[in-house]
Structure 1
Amino acid sequence: MPQPDGALRRLRSRAVFDLPAPPAGAVPDAPPRAVRGTIVDASPHLLVLDTAAGEPVRLPMAPTTSVWHGGRSGPQALTPGREAIVRLDADGSVAERVWVDITRVTGTILSCDRDGRQVEVDGGPHRGRTLLTIPEDALRRVLVRHPMLEPGYLMDVICVRSPDGPRAVRPGTSQPGHPADRIVPASADAPSPQTVQGSATWFDGPAAGRAAGAAYPAVDPEGDAGGCADAPQGCAPLPCLSRGSVLIVRNECSGRALKVPIVECGCVAARYCDRCVECGTSPRGRIVELTPVGFAALGGDLDAGCFNVTLDFTATAAAFHPAPEGSP
């Protein structure tokens, strides 16, 4: 008799935490390389952000700094009052990329008007419903990946904020959408993984905040772990973890790795079985959704929507059960 989805994932979780500890230094520590805040002031040489964490942050700009505001833009988009997400260069001294008022709408279509220009999307129990506008100049690009703008189908679009709500700019996935209930779960006899490869995307919403964090598709629904009772099992064999656990996330495109705490149940991501093609083709499955700051800090381009990723559960186990003080 097959095990229930949650039981399978808990078995994998126990196997993960019985793994031997990784060598010293295998769990990376890195300073913040991305900042999110409200624009206070801007010039061609300096961007000032209010991050709601004390004094405003002053970020030097360079001629090579790239600005996005619904597409490639320039310093004119850096208007006070708008929100910006900034990735710093390798030295952490200059703004490398700036995304202005970028957001994302991911979930299941609830309704769509006759012209396909107004779409209501259910973002799941943590993110609620969103009314999305698809402008005429973006409609064709969106329809390439989402030809069925009908209730019950999955939707994923990169957007720019507007006074009337999010406006679609481009699709956030490279594969066509499919019905939300059409999921091919990981095999019941899939081995307990030490590492899992797949796609990392990013999410916006109340839990995204202004720090690095993750929504994980296999948060344990039992007890106080923080998972959703009706979360589906995705197509990647992930172990159960609790909210607050630390993931070790490696961007296979940039080579950067980061400790990222789980801040939300990623039940919406579990419904997507697409691939990322940013640097080669990833295995199927969205195995982690990152906050915008976490995604950018790992070298991901928010307007691209994804990167190929590896989750290192051996290092996660070490972070979950650190060695006692005084141990070698």
Structure 2
Amino acid sequence: MPPSPSVEARRRRRAAVFGAPPGLPEAGPQLRAVSGIILDASPHLLVLAAGGTEVRLAMSGDTGVWHGGRGGLAALRPGRPVIVRQKASGVVDRIWVGIGRVAGTILACGRDTVEVDMGPHRGRAHVVIPPHALGRVLVRHPRLEPGYLIDVICVGSPDGPRAVRPGTSQPGYRADDLAAPEPTAPVSGVLHGTATWFGEAGGEAPDGAAYPAVDSEGAAGGCADAPSGCVPFPYLSVGSEISVRNECGGRAATVPVVECGCTAARFCDRCVECDASPRGRIIELTPVAFAGLGGDLDAGCFNASVRVEGPW
């Protein structure tokens, strides 16, 4: 969803007083993205049920459709959940049909299945890795063994999520063997690293972000056993606002923290969507927020900067 007028006003006032952050060009606006259920589709019009209302979106011959890979109009069947991103003109740019993501610690492996612990907020997932996707997954996740981390982009099916491709590369360490930052490491007001997304098309999570360092004290909303991650984070609480900038696309937005991102804290990896990001997942966005910032859900990540002290 686009930023609220109050958030945009604060961003403009801050820029007028302080200017843009040093060394960064002015960020572009967030694109409109929406999550919904397909009601009808034609070559030029997509009709969704979204947020209790009917939404009609114009399409063109350039509109891209993903359904486990490159898709077409046939994938836009009524009843399927989608994430849709529009261009600045309002015409639909990309449609992701039935996309989802499973990231966490491997609990068990079968011949073509993986059981994954996604953390205390998201429970467990039973992921099918079909033969045609197994090779792609193994290239970047060579250790499909209990105790190691996994991150896969999936498409929904009657049997549950089916892996299509890896979301990022698998860290080389076991999930419980992450090296934490030194206690005296300085904490920056602007974090640099990887932004990913969590959830699925049609998911119930409110638009916003999961932050890896939500305070576990009091009613802040954090997890008592959350790892510290490989980046020194300032502590926040659920409901805090943070500003996220896509360094690959130059778009930025202020989003609320809606969940503790304790699973993200276990991934000390890099995004190579545009150059190599510093190590560490510094934010997980909901699919709508990620797509609105110009991220392609099937790519899995973008290089990001996160400001915890106010908007850009």
Q: Give the TM-score of the pair, scaled to structure 1.
A: 0.85
Q: Distance in 2 between matches of 1:29 and 1:265?
A: 27
RMSD: 2.2
Q: Paired residue for 2:165?
A: 170
CA deviation after TM superposition for structure 1 residue 146, in Å? 1.5
Alignment of 1:108 with 2:105, yes or no, is yes
Give the total of aligned pairs. 293
Q: Distance in 2 between matches of 1:189 and 1:182?
A: 20
Seen in structure 2, the aligned counterparts of structure 1 residues 83 and 298 have a Cα distance that, compared at 3 Å, is same
Q: Distance in 2 between matches of 1:34 and 1:274?
A: 27
Seen in structure 2, the aligned counterparts of structure 1 residues 135 and 206 have a Cα distance that, compared at 3 Å, is closer
Seen in structure 2, the aligned counterparts of structure 1 residues 205 and 62 have a Cα distance that, compared at 3 Å, is closer
Alignment of 1:107-256 (within 5 A): 107-113=104-110, 115=111, 117-176=112-171, 178-204=173-199, 209=204, 211-256=206-251
Alignment of 1:11-90 (within 5 A): 22-24=14-16, 33-53=32-52, 55-90=53-88
CA deviation after TM superposition for structure 1 residue 184, in Å? 1.7
Structure 1 SS opposite 2:282: strand
Detail structure 1 runs of 4+ shifted over 6 Å in the superposition.
25-29
Residue deviations 1:285-304 (CA, integer Å, cap 9, x gap): 00000000000000000000
CA deviation after TM superposition for structure 1 residue 36, in Å? 0.3
Q: Paired residue for 2:253?
A: 258
CA deviation after TM superposition for structure 1 residue 237, in Å? 1.3
CA deviation after TM superposition for structure 1 residue 224, in Å? 0.3
Q: Is the 8 A contact 1:29 1:259 kept in 2?
A: no
Q: What percent identity do the matched residue pairs reach?
A: 61
Q: Distance in 2 between matches of 1:152 and 1:237?
A: 24
Residue deviations 1:252-308 (CA, integer Å, cap 9, x gap): 001000011000000000000000000110000000000000000000000000000
Seen in structure 2, the aligned counterparts of structure 1 residues 150 and 210 have a Cα distance that, compared at 3 Å, is closer
Please, which of 72, 96, 101 is the counterpart of residue 99 of structure 1?
A: 96
Q: Distance in 1 between matches of 2:287 and 2:86?
A: 14
User: Residue type matched to 1:102 in 2?
Assistant: I
Q: Which has the larger radius of gyration?
A: 1
CA deviation after TM superposition for structure 1 residue 188, in Å? 1.8
Structure 2 SS opposite 1:278: coil
